[in-house]
Amino acid sequence: MTSAPRVVIADDMALVRTGFRMILTADGIDVVAEAADGNEAVDAVRRTRPDVVLMDIRMPELDGLEATRRILTGTDPAPQVIILTTFDLDRYVYAALSAGAAGFLLKDTTPEHLVAAVRMVRSGDALLAPAITRRLVERFARHDFPTTASHRDLDALTPREREVLRLLAQGLNNAELADHLSLSEATVKTHVARILAKLGLRDRVQAVIAAFRTGLVSPTGDDTPSPAAGVLR
């Protein structure tokens, strides 16, 4: 039986931390620590070794972006970090994704989506809503995000791997990819791992961004997201 996810909540507003704690614990998720600023978040992660960190961007002393960088480069194994933001086009969100965050949530998300998000990233899925990802790419990618892959790089992918990458960019998680392609989840994970290796990417978040940047998926196109992609809307 899989153990409950262990979570650290980092937000400078006590009311937000309390609300998230109540939502998560009611669903059997273990909140192991809270933090009111980035320094406390880094210390809490080093002390408790959580699976997931809910990280506010705008905090005193040390902001969530720098805290995320320190956690992901100084913790082994590193937890999955979900960025919390009030604005879906907060300029810091894109920088956080490039720093290695697993995705982001708007603070007005529903309790059900918060719980689903924690469980999703704990299982290894990226948390990216295609509609929001498209807008982020349109607004920031050309200027702020380092080149991760080129059209030429995509030639290294097999037709099946290109299809997996395209569907990944549309917001499908591993289970949905497996169902859509009539494959096992283990096979899907193998395809994702090979895509990352061939394109020289760190994680699924970078893979999604690369799919948009190389034109495999168009930021302005009418890509149809999966039902689960609504997690962040």
Specify the CATH number for the domain of residue 95: 3.40.50.2300
> Which structural domain, as residue segments, surrounds residue 71?
6-124
Cβ 72 vs Cβ 100: under 8 Å = yes
Domain membership of residue 35 (yes or no) is: yes
Residue 226 reports pLDDT greater than 50: no
Mean pLDDT of the chain: 81
Provide the greatest CA pair distance for the chain: 50
Burial 38-50 (b: 16+ CB within 10 A, else e): bbbbbebbeebeb
Write down the pLDDT at residue 136. 62
Residue 177 reports pLDDT greater than 50: yes
Which of the four pLDDT bands, split at 50, 70 and 90, describes residue 209?
A: confident
Across the range 168-186, mean pLDDT stands at 86
Write down the pLDDT at residue 227. 35
17 and 119 together in one domain: yes
Across the range 91-95, mean pLDDT stands at 69
Beta bridge partners, 82, equal 54, 103
Write down the pLDDT at residue 129. 58
Domain boundary among 87, 108, 124: 124
- Between 95 and 190, name the one with better pLDDT: 190
Residue 13 reports pLDDT greater than 80: yes
Beta bridge partners, 83, equal 55, 104
pLDDT tens-digit map of 41-50: 999 999 999 9
Cβ 204 vs Cβ 192: under 8 Å = yes
